[in-house]
């Protein structure tokens, strides 16, 4: 058995770092955000072992487990902060709410609060105050596939 391999008696800090590197490589090649947390834990533990070299291997492994869980929570908060700053993905797949603020034309009269409006080249179900066909309405909100509209005062199309 070569002496550079980690044993149950002794694990060097760089063993952990190598493990972290291998985990990062796995993270890139495998889908899903998973190995990166373990890699972070491995790097942190390597640093700890570097500072306190006398830690037994069992304690090191327990610490690794604990650090992995901690890395998930810390990392999530950090990723959350990353997502706050100018994330363009928020405007994608937002469903009907992307239509809020547009003025559209009623196609099927709104009777008893339900009718249809024309948005672009398609036709949407709409709820709002009763209005006859041809009337302009403003989309104020979206509920699933139904648009909530209110009248644009005094505008005729």
Partner 1 sequence: MGFMIFVGVLLLLVIVTILAGIKSVPQGYEWTQERFGKFQRSLKPGLNLIIPYIDRIGRRVNMMEQVLDVPSQEVITRDNAMVTVDGVVFYQVLDSAKASYEVRNLEQAILNLTMTNIRTVMGSMDLDELLSNRDQINARLLIVVDEATEPWGVKVTRIEVKDIKPPADLVASMARQMKAEREKRANILDAEGFRQAAILKAEGEKQAAVLSAEGEKQAAFLQAEARERSAQAEAAATRMVSDAISAGNTQAINYFIAQRYVDALRDVATAPNQKTLILPIEATSVLGSLQGIAEVAKEAFGHKG
**Which token pair is 38?**
């373990």
Of 59 and 155, nearer to partner 1 (C-beta) is 59
The interface with partner 1 within residues 47-86 (CB under 8 A) comprises: 57-58, 61-62, 64-65, 68-69, 72, 76, 79-80, 83
User: Measured between alpha carbons, how far is 114 from 22 in angstroms, rounded to an integer?
Assistant: 59
The three-class DSSP label of residue 151 is strand
Q: Which of 7, 10, 25, 33 binds partner 1 (CB under 8 A)?
A: 33
**Which of these, 42, 89, 83, 46, lies nearest to 66 by C-alpha position?**
42
Q: How many CB atoms lie within 10 A of CB 47?
A: 13
Which parts of this chain interact with partner 1 (CB under 8 A)?
8, 32-34, 37-38, 57-58, 61-62, 64-65, 68-69, 72, 76, 79-80, 83, 89, 92-93, 95-96, 108, 116, 121-125, 144-146
């Amino acid at each position: 058995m070569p002496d550079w391999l980690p044993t149950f008696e002794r694990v060097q800090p760089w063993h952990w770092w190598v493990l972290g590197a291998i985990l990062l490589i796995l993270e890139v090649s495998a889908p899903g955000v998973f190995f990166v947390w373990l890699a972070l834990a491995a790097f942190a533990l390597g640093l700890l072992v570097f500072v306190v070299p006398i830690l037994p291997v069992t304690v090191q492994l327990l610490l690794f487990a604990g650090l992995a869980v901690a890395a998930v929570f810390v990392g999530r908060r950090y990723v959350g902060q990353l997502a706050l700053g100018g994330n363009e993905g928020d405007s994608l797949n937002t469903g009907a709410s992307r239509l809020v603020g547009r003025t559209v034309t009623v196609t099927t009269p709104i009777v008893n609060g339900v009718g249809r409006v024309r948005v672009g080249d398609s036709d949407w179900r709409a709820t709002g105050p009763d209005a006859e066909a041809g009337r302009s309405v403003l989309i104020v909100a979206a509920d699933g596939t139904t648009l909530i509209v209110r009248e644009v005062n005094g505008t005729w199309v």
